[in-house]
Chain A
Amino acid sequence: MSDDLTALTIKDASRLLRLGTISAADLVAAHVERIERVDPHVKAYLRFTPELWEKQADEADRKIRQGDAPPLAGIPLAVKDVLCVRGVETTAGSQILKGFRPPYTGTAVGRLFEAGAVMLGVTNCDEFAMGSSTENSGYFPTRNPWDLERVPGGSSGGSAAAVAAGEAMIALGTDTGGSIRQPAALCGVVGMKPTYGRVSRYGLIAFASSLDQVGPFARSVDDAAITLALMSGYDPLDATSSDRPGMEVLNNSEGGVKGMRLGVPREYYDVKGIEPGVKAAIDAALFILRREGAEIVDISLPHTDYGLAAYYIIAPAECSSNLARFDGVRYGLSEVDAPNITDEYLQTRRKGFGTEVRRRVMLGTYALSSGYYDAYYLKAQKVRTLIKRDFDDAFKKCDAIVSATSPTVAFPIGAKTQDPLSMYLCDVLTLGGNLAGLPGISVPCGTSEGLPVGLQVLGPQWGESVVLRVARAYEAASEMRAEVASVV
């Protein structure tokens, strides 16, 4: 029984809850049992929130009994360690924030709580969301539930692995260059990054403010869609959030791809380093989409090659400033025994930040320095404009763009940790969507060498419904519903 409960989708679970077949407490208990069994192997979670889940499950059961259950009543949720939850230790995967308990709950998480979700715990991630394998966590690496010797992807690897392993029904991640879509692909689940501004960033510990977005992981497109819709919409606490209604993401998001034009960018299709098995899975997906009535059109995103370079200027530049607040003065790690304030800063940050974070803070500081600003930051912003224009031009020729999410399947733990550049290449197909602020999803699309492959669908700005429509159509036609990895 309990494993069945951890393989449900929101729709099925909600039906059982409303029928009274199961209670929210049962659903939580099944997940806790599952976690106890598999998480010692997967290590998706950094910490658990039993007080919250008890309270929230009680509340959900009460509301279900009263007949006014909100849409996510009783649905087990995992939250990436970069999203603040009041009173819950939130560390952005970093030692520097060890012990930090925010006195506020971020807007996206708060909206899911209001919708009845039950938080099980905080999931592991690369430190400050910087990485593509969750190996940069300041605590421990998370493992891919489909092969424990491999990475789950990153930076939201803990959330992706938790959903893939049946340790949560849905999870929240953040996507700055691909940090939701890439781990979703590597773990064989659905992961969606909304249009920049769709979901409030309030309560998200910033990595790169102009690129970060919060988004859902789920085991079906339906579940991802409803979760996204419920956390979307204007937030007076985030000046970059849009006033478009959140629920519009569901408008016309069903109905198939018949007559739709789907663009395949040749720069993505033939991207350097793409594995033959991944390419074959994408070819098969294109075949299915064509069979469903979509027109597949060849398009070009000519500045793709410069995207990675621009991204690795802009993101570190913003992070170098965003991370300046971690100085040991007010919260988190503090090396107060230093002889003076400068040494206190240096010692706190040297001890608290990991290698990759330090690398990016230094890169970003350099890129913004007087005398280098024009050559690096300004030029990168110009490239960003060109990349946006690439997408604008592309969407004149097609309704949505399809490609692989990641050029490779999950790689072995340790394979890329010594070579940051090869790790950065993991995001080559996803970061364009961040630079242009576009919505994108990764849905399971078969396997290569026994490991999950992800199909990425990108839409125009505010085009979540188009993205969801293509993803739903593919999911239905391919019958490739995300499965729960058995793990043990």
Chain B
Amino acid sequence: MSMATAIPQPAERENYLNKEYGVWSWLLTTDHKRIALLYLISITFFFFIGGFFALLIRLELLTPAGDLVQADTYNKLFTMHGMVMIFFFLIPSIPAVLGNFLVPLMIGAKDLAFPRINLLSWYLYIIGGVMMLHCMLTGGVDTGWTFYAPFSTSFTNTKIVEAGLAIFVAGFSSILTGLNFVVTIHRMRAPGMTWSRLPLFIWAHYATSIIQLLGTPVVAVTIVLVAAERALHLGIFDPKLGGDPLLFQHLFWFYSHPAVYIMILPSMGVVTEIIACFSRKRIFGYHFVAFSSIAIAVFGFLVWAHHMFVAGISVYSALVFSFLSYAVALPSAIKVFNWTATLYKGSIHYDAPMLYAFGFLGLFTIGGLTGLFLSALGINVHVTDTYFVVAHFHYIMVGGAVMGYLGGMHFWWPKISGRLYPEGWARLAALIVFIGFNLTFFPQFVLGYMGMPRRYYDYSHMPEFQVLNVLSTAGATVLGVGYLLPMVYFLWSMRYGKPASDNPWNAAGLEWKTASPPPTFNFDEEPVVTWEAYNYEELDAPHSEEVPVAR
């Protein structure tokens, strides 16, 4: 039985969606909720572009021979897939959409601290996105999303500078979002909303913002150095010019490893909210979960060289980074154990958001544990640059981050749109995504461990790998259907979905105490918080007004 509550068709109240109409009311808006929707449309567009590249990659690997695209085209496909998915979908996904929408609502603020900077961040994202689209349409890049030097600086003749510039601009969008969140969370909390009453979604976004602020400038500088070496022949990374290629990798991964936490931490925040609501319990070990987010943000900056174990770094340094890479697993494990403990003796409801949260739990755990394999120097040498690594990071970034994103979209869709989505279809989609994901990526663990290298478009010298590749391609097709379904029924629900009540899940949290959809300035009166976070015992007490009904 679904626990979501619908309400009879009411007279439509003024809200952020119907307050103003027309294109300019959207393009010039400073309302964090409207900007969140602008981001939602933009990142969905890039998600399907990145997904299209993924589908072509999987189709190429359906047969051992390189028979669908040329080798150069294949190089560009996986490069553009990575760049689009990481910089234009995953990094902005939860912070820029759900974070933008929810951070002010959850802390009882009228908007973010800098609404115009918020809009500027979207425009920067769009400018970066248009540059990336232009880059793709006029030749693309073939270095892999990692831009490794000296190939990127001295050898390839593809559009390195343009792609780098696109990412540079989009990076500033990410920095501005992080800046806005840090200031908003520090300065704009409602009376009574102390740090220990903050929803853990907010703690996760605070930790994410720290990474965005401190890490993104480093990758921006690194990209400028690549462009400088390419254009001006300054000796920075190319040994021929007196540079050091490992310096590039140090600088690149100093940002790009923590960037994984930019993708996964917000997802952890989403899952925390969902698990508490659909278990009807306070999160077990609230403070541990909160501080583990900060610990992940800090420890995440100490582990980058595990991407470089076979690249020629010192063995002593590799030992230190191996140890530190194990250490970063601790705060993640704390979260997983605390979520599991929250489920224990909870009154669990299997609504679609919870199905995604369960999917996240399993897939993130697999992704995290295989990360420990890669932290171990010996196994790392064996599986570096194989499909094992590809499977590992997809379990984190798709199995973890995207599952959380979809779970969050379902959980807060009634608040965002004021409508209920069709629960049956949503549960089916969650199941399809879970099955499709595992069918796509689990065979890749086996392939990688057997020795199939990543980034090969032709594996005709090892035809025994075909069966697992066929399974993986079949899974990608199923996964594609699973991703299309929510888009269809979300759009459908905006017109035909039942109107949602203000708090359809009977959830804790300030965002559920305002209308669905919320008014432009979020609350009719400034809320005063007198209760602890996740007070589900109080909400479910007999005097509680909202009673879940079946749809």
Query: Is this pair of chains taken from one and the same complex?
Result: no
Residues of A at the B interface (CB closer than 8 Å) are: none
